[in-house]
Amino acid sequence: MEDEMKLGLTGKTALVCASTSGLGRATARALAEEGVKVVVTGRSGDRAKEVADELPGAVGLAGDLVADGGAEQLLTAAREAVGDLDILVLNGPGPAPGSARATDTAGIEEAIATLVKPQQILVQGALPVMLEKKWGRILSISSTSVEAPLPNLALSNLGRAALAGYLKTLATEVAAQGVTVNSLLPGRIATPRARQIDEAAAQHTGRSLHEVEAASRATIPAGRYGDPDEFGAVAAFLCSAPAAYVTGTAVRCDGGLVPTL
């Protein structure tokens, strides 16, 4: 209880998108342990309910943000489940890999439809009540590609940068009303998705999974992959009361991986 009071989140409500695994799940868990009433979401409602059952006071809902009307439907269902939202955590998968030279108009439209449009709908839907209460937290689980674009991920780089630009602009507009807007940029975190990427790299290069992981760790100053709970702890802080003066920022949780200030 003492830790909960430090972050000032007891009794707050949160919608955490794509939170049945990986970084979204770690964020949902960290918030729930701080006394937040969390809505866990995923394309599988059964899976969302399973994860929610593991967390204190959480509820699980099915939600597909890229489906027609999916963002609006999820927002309505979340409000019905826990009431008006104090915290909105944006999260979700990116478009398929590919080079910048191979990018076409259809791919750009897909990137916007996946990484910008549903997030903007959720933000615009949740924001009015936050402004009325003069308290709100909007956090985007993004990627270090926002600061250092990643090779062969042109569409993901494009979409995430566009969302980051929108959120930065929004942050300046709502800061005086007690609403913070930030992005959290993960490096190599030990999630199922990271293992899938390493396994694909091993298959593509003919190296063993152990060799691929060792080579990846060698590029990280911390010398290891991050723990999802470490990421979740940073996310919970950025959503907290003590973080009220942190807004419009992109915070890296990457073990020192990105070689920029």
For the chain, the domains span 2-189+227-253, 190-225
Provide the token pair at 226.
């991050």
Domain 2-189+227-253 class in CATH = alpha beta
Residues 6+ apart with CB under 8 A from 81: 39, 59, 61
As a whole number of angstroms, the distance between CA 251 and CA 261 comes to 11
As a whole number of angstroms, the distance between CA 189 and CA 228 comes to 6
pTM of the model: 0.95
pLDDT in tens, the chain (261 residues): 444 448 999 999 999 999 999 999 999 999 999 999 999 999 999 999 999 999 999 999 999 999 999 999 999 999 999 999 999 999 998 888 889 999 999 999 999 999 999 999 999 999 999 999 999 999 999 999 999 998 888 999 999 999 999 999 999 999 999 999 999 999 999 998 889 888 988 988 899 999 999 999 999 999 999 999 999 999 999 999 999 999 999 999 999 999 998
Q: What are the backbone angles phi and psi of residue 95, rounded to the nearest 5°?
A: -70, 175
